[in-house]
């Protein structure tokens, strides 16, 4: 089982990244998401405004949170085109 160690949200709130610790080997990886809103009709039917869709997951594994954080911030910056300040 994996656990989310840290979540970083872009200034616009449209993008987010999660730093994930893998339980099987203790290594860290990350995922970048984008908030996707439903059409108004669908939103009324299912009762939700939208969902966090995965843009991509990094294949890189690191042994420290700090090194994973650097890669994650770079990936989030590339996806959102925003300056990410922690």
Please check the confidence at residue 52 and state whether its pLDDT lies above 90: yes
pTM here? 0.85
**How many alpha carbons fall within 13 Å on the CB side of residue 76?**
27
Q: Quick one: what percent of the chain has pLDDT higher than 90?
A: 73
User: Distances in Å between the alpha carbon of 41 and those of 46, 49, 51?
Assistant: 9, 10, 15
In which band, very low, low, confident or very high, does the pLDDT at 34 lie, cut at 50, 70 and 90? very high
User: What confidence score (pLDDT) does residue 9 get?
Assistant: 96
User: What confidence score (pLDDT) does residue 60 get?
Assistant: 80
């Amino acid at each position: 089982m994996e656990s989310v160690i840290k979540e970083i949200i872009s200034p616009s709130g449209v993008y987010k990244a999660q730093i994930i610790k893998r339980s099987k080997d203790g290594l860290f990886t990350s995922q970048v998401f984008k908030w996707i809103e439903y059409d108004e009709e669908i939103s009324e039917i299912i009762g939700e405004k939208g969902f966090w869709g995965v843009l991509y997951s990094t294949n890189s594994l690191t042994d420290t949170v700090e090194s994973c954080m650097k890669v994650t911030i770079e990936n989030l910056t590339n996806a959102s085109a925003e300056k990410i300040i922690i």
